[in-house]
Amino acid sequence: MRYRELGKTGLMVSEIGLGGEWLERHNTKEVQEIIDACEAEGINILDCWMSEPNVRSNIGLAIKGRREKWIIQGHIGSTWQNGQYVRTRDLAVVKPAFLDLLARFQTDYIDLGMIHFVDTTEEYDRAVKGEFMDYVRALKREGTIRHIGMSTHNPDIARLAACQGEIEMILFSVNPAFDMLPPISDIDQYFADSYDEALNGIAPEREELYKLCEQNGVGITVMKGYAGGRLFSADTSPFGVALTPVQCLHYALTRPAVASVMAGFDSTMHVAQAVAYETATEEERDYAGVLANAPRHRFSTGQCTYCGHCAPCPSKIDIAMVNKLYDLAVMQEEVPGTVRAHYAQLTANASDCVGCGGCETRCPFEVPVVERMKKAKELFA
């Protein structure tokens, strides 16, 4: 495993990190196995944005007795209310939620205190210009957090954070599908025989962001490096061609300022597939050659990456899981029995959707959630 310095924090983080969100689907034993596999491969950074108590406890148990081996990204503003995740800046809820993270991780400090999920200028102002930021500063003064970070999917917000002065690193969504511009009239300008990413393809605001972070010493850890797994199949990839985990990782790790990709792991096999990057050949890493001959590109807006930020749902639907099961189902001629069984086990599903649309206002990728719930209800009826 190779390690990179995370901006000016002085922290040396593994190129491959552990993005914890899929651990919510696993029991204590399975979480232990995945984290053990990560540690054995030299992974030393993990992200926990999730507020669900069980996953926090399971991660805490898995790293018990070896806390010092892990660099933890813990989120401030991710709370658990009435059995659901809720993002908020209300300190009356934020403070106990962060103390809960410390307690369940069995630690008295978090390495990277992340200002959680800021995607609009209004939300940015609430997060950095009032009592919320005062609380974050106090945590740092006390040593409860060692460094201040922010998570965002919006390059404009990330740019503000990179210039703010106190924010030392950013958790940002990076992959070829999110970076590439939508098609223009002559698609060959994007995907010619020779692929020159400096001249065709990367959205200027994103390319400039990476360079700005590099110049300012603001490190980047990456979320959504696989675009929710969509890039692994030609059927779901916006390019019409499949990429491998190694190619996706290489894309992200060749962006300026990027130190680590927080990959989501559902099994120890997924860990092995990611760390294969460390010994991969240049040919195996080459994503440019694949994209150069890709038949198409559709912009990623409107596609669910199963991030869970659409919550909370008044009907307590696990919207991310319903969307994932729906996408898995429609890829087959008939709904697989295993997918149907998983759907049937959900305590609330698409048929419980009341169409309020609150989820759509929180979605970073403008997914038409209500419409998808209707389709899922019909498909699994």
Q: State which amino acid sits at residue 8.
A: K
pLDDT (tens digit per residue) in 70-124:
999 999 999 999 999 999 999 999 999 999 999 999 999 999 999 999 999 999 9
Q: What b-and-e string marks burial along 227-251, b requiring 16 or more CB atoms within 10 Å of the CB?
A: bbbbbbeeebbbbeeebbbbbbbbb
In terms of C-beta distances under 8 Å and separation of at least 24 residues, what long-range contacts does 357-362 make, across chains too?
A: 358/313, 358/314, 359/310, 359/311, 359/313, 359/319, 360/310, 362/87, 362/309, 362/310, 362/311
Q: Give the whole-angstrom CA distance, residue 5 versus residue 191.
A: 33
pLDDT of amino acid 196: 40
Q: Give the whole-angstrom CA distance, residue 375 versus residue 366.
A: 17
Look over the chain and give the mean of its residue pLDDT values, rounded to a whole number. 90
pLDDT of amino acid 301: 65
Query: Is the peptide bond between 312 and the residue preceding it cis, with omega within 30 degrees of 0?
Result: yes
Q: Is the dihedral of CA 244, 248, 253, 255 positive or negative?
A: positive
- Domain-by-domain residue ranges, the chain? 3-292, 319-379
| Tokens (6 digits) for 91 | 């300190």
Check whether 185 has a pLDDT greater than 60: no
Pairing relation of β-strands 71-76 and 45-48?
parallel
pLDDT confidence bin for 237, thresholds 50/70/90: confident
Residues linked to residue 45 through DSSP beta bridges, in sequence order:
71
pLDDT of amino acid 83: 92
Residue 134 contacts by C-beta under 8 Å, 6 or more apart in sequence?
none
pLDDT of amino acid 267: 95
What does 148-188 look like in DSSP terms, one character per residue? EEEEES-HHHHHHHHTTSS--EEEEE--HHHHBPPP-S-GG
pLDDT of amino acid 204: 83
Which of 46-50, 155-159, 202-206, 369-373 is the least confident region? Answer: 202-206
pTM: 0.85
Pairing relation of β-strands 45-48 and 169-173?
unpaired
Phi, psi values for residue 105, rounded to 5°? -85, -5
pLDDT confidence bin for 186, thresholds 50/70/90: very low
pLDDT (tens digit per residue) in 111-169:
999 999 999 999 999 999 999 999 999 999 999 999 999 999 999 999 999 999 999 99
pLDDT confidence bin for 328, thresholds 50/70/90: confident
Q: Give the whole-angstrom CA distance, residue 34 versus residue 267.
A: 6
Pick the CATH number of 3-292 from 3.40.47.10, 3.10.20.90, 3.40.50.720, 3.20.20.100: 3.20.20.100
